[in-house]
Chains A and B, each alone.
Chain A
Amino acid sequence: MSEYAIELRNVSVAYGDCQCLADVSLAIPINSVVALIGPSGCGKSTLIRSMNRTNELVAKTVTTGEVNFGGRDVYGSRMDLRELRERIGMVFQRPNPFPKSIFDNVAWGLRSNGIRGRKRLEEAVERSLRAAALWDAVSSKLDQPALGLSGGQQQRLCIARALAVEPEILLMDEPCSALDPIATQRIEDLIDELKERYTIVIVTHNMQQAARIADFTAFLMAEQPHEPSRIVEFGRSVEIFTRPGDERTEAYVTGRFG
């Protein structure tokens, strides 16, 4: 058993003619929180989305290199996409609950996997909502529309929805960017609890956030505009934020650009 939850080797991603990420190698240790930071448009989202193949949902993308997940290549021809996306859950930038009830949102992944038993679904929904610290707020109104919740609650619902299918890795693409500071605080507390059981990769533009919650941090940027981004530095967050090895990392984390 590898000590890494997922390992990227020389991954490059291109959208049409635009080469966006080049030669990214990154190993995510099990049960850790890894933050991806870097200036806007540097491909942080593309990188995180390459791990469960969500890039190809939006546009034609060409991904080369290898993403090793549990001994298998994510981009290999024998990869079952539905299994992959169940085992690597994703939380998006903006909360995106379905226009359904709270219960149906959390049960969605299980139901689409063919699980029908009412009892089993109820248990899974409660467990996931508790894990997302949302149960107390919604336990009495599970049949009400998810879109009636506040933004922060919606995002925790999306986390619960992802947890319901019991993933191994949780990918979070700027999960707090649409939330106020109090809701952000709660999500951060939640991430701290979740890392006991899950491996978490989080994209953030907020360096304080990365420093607060991440065990490891990867800094991405392009050498020149219109060139593909690469990983400049990857290491323990303490190192990256206090003793960065690269002067570009230092310039970025001290707020000199970006």
Chain B
Amino acid sequence: MTRRVADWTARAAAWAVAGASIAVLLVIIGQIVIRGLPGFRLSFLVTAPHGIKMEGGVFPMIVASSFLTLLTLLIVGPVGIGAAVYLAEFAGDNRLTRLVRFAADTLAGVPSIVFGLFGLAFFVYFLQMGYSILAGALTLSMMVLPTMLRVSEEAIRAVPASYREGSLGLGATRWQTTLRVVLPAAMPAMATALILSVGRAFGETAAVLYTAGMTPSTPLLPLEGGRTLTVHLYLLATTGYIDPAYRVALVLLAVILSFNLLAGWLMARFRRRFVA
């Protein structure tokens, strides 16, 4: 009898916890939609803000956020995957690689504003990039690199040893095996890591506030500054323009949601291609 009670209690608790987390998500989304949607016009996406009250749209911010995210992706993708390949396939286990892993794990826990401060001191001032998309992207890359590196490394390690044996056993070289057998097999997990990293970069505020700046102009070159959607939201909310802030939140939410859908779609596609 007590075992049935325990079982029932455990189930009820599991359901309650799961339900609560869904409820929190729904409340947040609901709040943003209810407050953000009424004043939302399509022109909001394609016009620039104007005036002291920052009326108008968020076109320059969308450009700044996308530019910054794309540049971060271009930096962190090759560096993260390259380092992961080295660590997982070639480096073996020695003091250097243990140090690299330890450093990555430590960096992953550093608050983003600390990265922002470092980016300000190093990229903006020392390397004289000024407040710019490039400085922001480099800072964001440093911030998401540890996660990208470790998740990719795990993904590569999770590729069955039998693939490597099979390939090397047919006379392929180590490098051919890594490039054309191991990496494609680790691709779904690495693509997911990359998209989640990019999502984090897109949603980041503190690290870009100090590095990409707040200029509400449309950045077209990496050395121009720009104001991201998140920084714009921060400025709107702290100066008391709550309704426009919710509209920005709505845009952010839509973009992050599409990142996640894209990740899911990619995963499904890879799975179809490889597993039948």
A99's contact among B161, B165, B169, B184, by CB below 8 Å, is which? Answer: B184
- B273 near A145: Cβ-Cβ < 8 Å: yes
Chain A CB within 8 A of B274 CB: yes
Q: Is the CB of A57 within 8 A of B166?
A: no
**Chain B residues whose C-beta falls within 8 Å of the C-beta of A54 in the assembled complex:** 165, 168-169
Q: How many residues in A have their beta carbons less than 8 Å from beta carbons of B?
A: 30
- Which stretch in A90-98, A220-228, A247-255 binds the other chain? A90-98
- Of the candidate stretches A4-12, A34-42, A105-113, A183-191, the one touching chain B is A105-113
Contacts A82-B171, A96-B160, A99-B185 aside, 18 further interface pairs with beta carbons under 8 A come to: A54-B168, A54-B169, A57-B165, A58-B161, A85-B171, A86-B171, A90-B165, A92-B165, A98-B181, A108-B181, A109-B171, A112-B171, A113-B171, A147-B275, A148-B275, A161-B170, A165-B170, A165-B171
Interface centre among B162, B165, B166 (most CB of A within 10 A): B166
- Do residues B169 and A85 form an inter-chain contact, with CB atoms below 8 A? yes
Q: Does B163 contact A (CB under 8 A)?
A: yes
Give me the interface of B with A, judged by CB distance under 8 Å. 160-173, 176, 180-181, 184-185, 273-276
Chain A residues within an 8 Å CB radius of B168: 54, 57, 85
Leading 7 A-B pairs by shortest Cβ distance: A148-B276, A86-B171, A112-B172, A99-B274, A96-B162, A109-B170, A90-B169
Known: A145-B273, A145-B275. A89 touches B170 (CB 8 A): yes
Instruction: Output the nearest chain A residue to B182 by Cβ-Cβ distance.
Output: A98
B172 contacts across to A, CB distance below 8 A: 82, 108-109, 112
Interface membership of A100, Cβ < 8 A: yes
A residues bordering B, Cβ < 8 Å? 52, 54, 57-58, 82-86, 89-90, 92, 94, 96-100, 108-109, 112-113, 144-145, 147-148, 158, 161-162, 165
Task: Given A57-B165, A96-B165, A99-B184, answer yes or no on A112-B276 (Cβ-Cβ < 8 Å).
Answer: no
A108/B162 contact (C-beta < 8 A), A147-B274, A147-B276 known: no
Main secondary structure of the interface of B (DSSP, over half): helix
Whole-angstrom distance from the CB of B240 to the nearest CB of chain A?
55
Cα(A83)–Cα(B168), bound, Å: 11
Cα-based distance from A108 to B163 in the complex (angstroms): 12
CB-CB under 8 A from A57, the residues of chain B are 164-165, 168
Q: List 9 A-B contacts (CB under 8 A).
A: A89-B170, A90-B165, A92-B166, A94-B162, A96-B163, A99-B275, A109-B170, A109-B172, A144-B276
Cβ-defined contact, A145 with B162, below 8 A:
no
Complex Cα–Cα for A94 and B173 (A): 22
| Bound-state Cα–Cα, A247 to B159, Å | 45
**Residues of A contacting B160 with CB < 8 Å?**
96
Q: Which of B161, B164, B170, B185 contacts A108 (CB 8 A)?
A: B170
In the bound complex, what is the Cα–Cα distance between A162 and B171 (angstroms)?
10
Chain B residues closer than 8 Å to A83, beta-carbon distance: 171
A97 to B169, CA, bound (A): 12
Q: Is A162 within 8 A of B170, CB to CB?
A: yes
Cα distance A109–B173 in the bound complex, in angstroms: 10
